[in-house]
Amino acid sequence: MHAGTWSKRDVFTETKRRQGAHIGRESSLPTIIAVTLALGVGGLFPLGLDAQESGAEPTVREQLSLEEAVRLAHEYNPDFRIQENQGETAEWRRREAWGSFLPSANASSSLGYTASGERRFQSVQLGTQPAIYSSSYNMGLSLTLTGQSFLQPSVVRDQNAAVQAQIDGASAGLVDQVTQAYLAALEADEQLRQARTELERTESYVRQAQAQVEVGAGTPLDIRRAELQRGQAEVQLLQAENAAATTRFTLGRILGVDVAEGVSLTTGFELFEPNLSVEELMAEAMGGNPVLRASRSQQQVSRTQARAARTQYLPSLSLSASWTGSVFEPSTLGPLFDGRLQQLSGQYQSCLQDNRLRALLGDPPRDCSRFDVSDPTVEAAARQQVRDENLGFPFDYRAQPVSFSMNVSIPVFTGFSRQLQVEEARVSERNAREQVRSEELRLRAEVETVVRTVNTAFRTVALQTRNRETAAEELRLAQERFRLGLASSIEVVDAQANLSQAERDEISAVYNFHSSFAGLEALVGQPLR
């Protein structure tokens, strides 16, 4: 056994410190708006991840404690990192949920060209127009609010809590995996030491058999039996060395790092009598088991999603505002000049006709000089007005009045899609509730089973220790009888085999106890030592 002692509470403390670092943080809506509008720069990654991406994974070469093994596993185990990465988007999911209360903003701009030719609108001929260059812009704000928009933050909050519960469960499962692999490596080391001790005993027995033959108290058959026993011990040692190496390879795979074959495991486990109360353990497991907590979190998600599904029967409100502007510039202004002058001529003739009517009625005449295109000043002003109205491409926009709109939509019939989604949400909620009940039943059975297993394992250790002491005394007596010539080598061989088996069984019993107790701690979700 290792001399050092181990407290799993340190491992759980370190694990809890690592959990929940990026999920569950609450911030005000202004903070969310400010951060959402800012441009983020992504470049902050853990050093462990950089090491993995560059292929430079660390190697444990000399010593490894259980606490260090748990830390390395949380940093480098790929399966756990996959689970942990699911929480990286939690904060952005929360911001997105609150962002639904902010208007969407968009801006657009366009450039266009229309060739010269005859313009028509349906059956109406608008005349021949020159080629036209056009440019326009549009800026708009829009906001749509539904019943689901108001529940989405709650849905996302529960989803993030469920993701965190899954990460916590993966972390607790990883701690149990590391502990079991560490115990397996320690047991393999103990079996290796026992195999070396057994080989030393058989070599001593070979020398004793040879001495017996030299003094005439034994036979060559005794030497052959001793050598056979030594050969079997060598095979046992070879297998133990292989087991010690392979358990370290397995431990390294779980940690996600390379563990050297000769690394020393420094954490020891002390045997103690367990004083376990099934009722207390059951209560602790119901509140702390990570798998059950994850199931309950998923049940809460299903409950909130069912509420959100029913909001589809509520009306929706849409608000929008837009700012637009445009500019049009013809390729040549000649036709526009002609059209403007013809328009003024027509207005001039109409004005003269109106003055003649006014003269008959005795009314004062109107001033028609501003329409007289025969006046060079009027003609020049008309041409300048055409130029002012048709130049400015591409960015001298003429702004249009701001427009606002509001729309209220009440869903009346959607082809039973709402009813289907509501029913699916209800079924999901019921299934989640049954899943929690299933986990509770499983947990009750497993806690009771593991408690009995731990108690049985502790009593087994006591029995195996007594068997090992009895086998050691049997070997001592057999060797003494063989030395005095009162027993054959068969008794010594049998006694050595019995002691070797008893020692291996005792080691297996001790580590079976520690493994069972670690499994109980994993079920309860907290340290019990």
Query: Could you tell me the two tokens for 224?
Result: 């052959």
In the listed set 361, 391, 421, which residue is the last one of a domain according to the structure?
A: 391
The whole-number pLDDT of residue 310 equals: 93
Decide if 482 contacts 488 (C-beta within 8 A): yes
Exposed e or buried b for every residue in 347-385, given b needs 16+ CB within 10 A? ebeebeeebeeeeeeeeeeeebeebbbeeeebbeebeee
Residue 133 lies in a domain: no
DSSP tag of 402: P
One domain, residues 259 and 353? no
Q: What is the pLDDT of residues 80-114, one digit of tens each?
A: 999 999 888 988 999 999 999 999 999 999 999 88
How far apart CA 460 and CA 513 sit, in angstroms, is 9
One domain, residues 101 and 146? yes
Q: What is the pLDDT of residues 408-432, one digit of tens each?
A: 999 998 889 999 999 999 999 999 9
Mean pLDDT computed over 230-254: 95
Residue 231 lies in a domain: yes
Q: What is the pLDDT of residues 131-153, one digit of tens each?
A: 888 899 999 999 999 999 999 99
One domain, residues 343 and 465? no
Decide if 159 contacts 86 (C-beta within 8 A): no
Q: Is 46 helix (H, G, I), strand (E, B) or coil?
A: coil
Max mean pLDDT range (123-127, 168-172, 217-221, 376-380)? 168-172
Burial class (CB in 10 A: 0-12, 13-18, 19+), 173: middle
Q: How many domains does the chain have?
A: 2
Residue 458 lies in a domain: yes
**Who's near 445: CB < 8 A, 6+ residues apart?**
none
Q: Which residues pair with 111 in a beta bridge?
A: 135
Range of the domain at 274: 8-32+58-119+138-322+411-524
Tell me which of 525 and 56 has the higher pLDDT: 525
Q: What is the pLDDT of residues 428-457, one digit of tens each?
A: 999 999 999 999 999 999 999 999 999 999
Residue 401 lies in a domain: no
Q: What is the pLDDT of residues 334-374, one digit of tens each?
A: 777 878 888 888 988 899 888 888 888 888 888 888 888 88
How far apart CA 313 and CA 310 sit, in angstroms, is 6
One domain, residues 437 and 515? yes
Q: Is 105 helix (H, G, I), strand (E, B) or coil?
A: strand
One domain, residues 203 and 340? no
The region of weakest confidence among 181-190, 466-475, 479-488 is 479-488
Q: Which residues pair with 117 in a beta bridge?
A: 129
The whole-number pLDDT of residue 10 equals: 55
One domain, residues 163 and 262? yes
Decide if 8 contacts 524 (C-beta within 8 A): no
Q: Which residues pair with 321 in a beta bridge?
A: 141, 404
One domain, residues 347 and 457? no
Average pLDDT, the chain: 86
The whole-number pLDDT of residue 131 equals: 83
One domain, residues 168 and 214? yes
Q: Which residues pair with 223 in a beta bridge?
A: none
Neighbours of 145 (CB within 10 A): 15
Residue 275 lies in a domain: yes
R_g (Cα) of the chain, nearest Å: 45
Q: Where are the beta strands (DSSP E) in 61-103?
A: 63-64
Q: Give residue 8's identity as a one-letter amino acid code.
A: K
User: Which among 99, 109, 42, 48 is positioned nearest to 78, based on CA atoms?
Assistant: 48
Q: What is the pLDDT of residues 383-409, one digit of tens each?
A: 888 887 777 778 888 888 999 999 999
The whole-number pLDDT of residue 9 equals: 54
One domain, residues 272 and 417? yes
Q: Which residues pair with 316 in a beta bridge?
A: 409
Decide if 209 contacts 223 (C-beta within 8 A): yes
Residue 127 lies in a domain: no
**Whole-Å CA distances, 236 to 33, 289, 419, 474, 476:** 69, 41, 69, 21, 22
Q: What is the pLDDT of residues 458-474, one digit of tens each?
A: 999 999 999 999 999 99
Which CATH number belongs to the domain containing residue 266 in this structure? 1.20.1600.10
Residue 529 lies in a domain: no
pTM higher than 0.85, yes or no? no
One domain, residues 360 and 267? no
One domain, residues 465 and 517? yes
One domain, residues 338 and 314? no
Residue 310 lies in a domain: yes
